[in-house]
Amino acid sequence: MIKQIGTRLWKIITSFELTIVSLALLMALVFLCTLAQVHLGTLGAVNVYMRSFIVWWQPQSMNISIPVFPGGTLVGMALVVNLTASTIKRLAFTWQKAGLWIVHIGLILLIAGEFATGAFQVDTSMAIEVGQTVNFVESPRSMELAVIDTTDPAYDDVYSIPEATLAREGTVAIPGTPLAIRIRKFFRNANLSALGQGDQPSMATAGVGPGVKVVGAPAVTRDEEINHTTAFIEPIAGGRSFGTWLVSTDLGAPQGFTYEGRSYRLLVRPRRIYLPYAITLKKFSHDVYPGTDIPKNFSSLIHLSNPGTGEERDVLIYMNQPLRYDGKAFYQASFGKGDTLSILQVVGNPGWLIPYISCVLVTIGLLIHFGITLRRSVKRRQSQKEG
């Protein structure tokens, strides 16, 4: 009985029908993902359709989710298993089949590359003004609560609480300090306005929060929209509460308190990742076509300084010509402030070479296969002529 089940399962896994179905489902997912970008944005649509096991549908005014379609991760895994198993079953380990083996390996790598990208790629950005030196990148879609010790005028000690921890609420101890932060209420997205007559009192008792009204809003995913991450927090130290503070990406006013002679600031900001090197923007160029306002090229002349390696060099970053350094790619993305601000998109993707390798393997495999087939055909024709 077990043997029969295993035989049937192997037959299904290695079937050509499973290959066709998987490819058809991937085409449908690409189509649906493209349509969904209108409402969800590029990243939101990719996460919902391509980087999920199941595509869920939530009816309006209902608090339940219904599975409606297999996600790209599930379909991709099925296709990888199918290609691997069918290759082992159908292709003999002979020179004549070498090209097909290489093609199949290339296709498997191509799908594996998408898994690697979805799992390990980190998209961040660096906004830098002319003459400014920056040693960090920011994640535009992930926020953090920064508790900054500003006591020493020469440098700041920064303690970060990631957004995922804020969402769980509760109390978080700040390592290396006597502080703890109690997250009383968290909003992934919220609308802030002045507190009016008849409105309920704010949860905040300190800072600017008592005069601000907070209304929760659905989280956004479209590329041009941002979430106004907001939270009510209560700093605690030495058994003493320093009141409840409102912190939000929508607040520009600095807020802070003092404890035992040390000054602390509180703010919500995009999550920062600090680098072991620094980048200085020396010059930003915005070129246009003569006689028009049509952009022709954007470029940033930066100076890279790495104290750890002693490296000091100038690099020109422009469209389609990124700086690749320390496992990251720095692309010219945007600009602002009258061409004095350059915005670089910084992508960290350990598997960025996999798609290139897979394409090379597929090309080599096809050339080998066609070469072997052509050689066999020529020999057959020669034999026929001699006969």
353 pLDDT band, cuts 50/70/90, is confident
Please say whether the beta carbons of 237 and 258 come within 8 A: no
Nearest in space to 342 (alpha carbons), one of 289, 310, 302: 302
Please say whether the beta carbons of 351 and 117 come within 8 A: yes
State yes or no: pLDDT of 387 exceeds 70.
Answer: no
Mean pLDDT of 310-332: 92
State yes or no: pLDDT of 242 exceeds 90.
Answer: yes
- pTM of this structure: 0.74
Structure letter (DSSP) for residue 351: T
State yes or no: pLDDT of 167 exceeds 70.
Answer: yes
Token pair listed for 341: 């601000």
Domains of the chain: which residue ranges? 2-121+353-386, 125-133+275-348, 143-273
User: b/e for 227-259, b at 16 or more Cβ within 10 A?
Assistant: bbbbbbbbbbbeeeebebbbbbbbbeeebbbee
State yes or no: pLDDT of 299 exceeds 70.
Answer: yes
**In this predicted model, what pLDDT tens digit does every residue of 17-64 receive, in sequence order?**
998 999 999 999 999 999 988 888 787 888 889 888 999 887 776 778
Token pair listed for 96: 């004549």
